Amino acid sequence: MAKVRTTLTIDADVLRAVKIRAARTGKGDSDVIEEALRRDLGINLLEQIWAANDMDEADAMALALEAQHAARS
Task: Look at residue 44 in the predicted model and tell me its pLDDT.
Answer: 76
- Greatest alpha-carbon pair distance for the chain in Å reads 57
Q: Which residues contact 63 (CB under 8 A, 6 or more apart)?
A: 55
Q: Which residues contact 52 (CB under 8 A, 6 or more apart)?
A: none
Q: Hey, what amino acid is at 30?
A: S
Task: State which residues of the chain have pLDDT below 70.
Answer: 46
Task: Look at residue 55 in the predicted model and tell me its pLDDT.
Answer: 81
pTM metric for this prediction:
0.61
Q: Sketch the domain layout of the chain as residue ranges.
A: 12-72
Cα–Cα distance measured from residue 22 to residue 17, given in angstroms and rounded to the nearest whole number: 8
Task: Look at residue 54 in the predicted model and tell me its pLDDT.
Answer: 81
Task: Look at residue 6 in the predicted model and tell me its pLDDT.
Answer: 93
Cα–Cα distance measured from residue 42 to residue 38, given in angstroms and rounded to the nearest whole number: 6
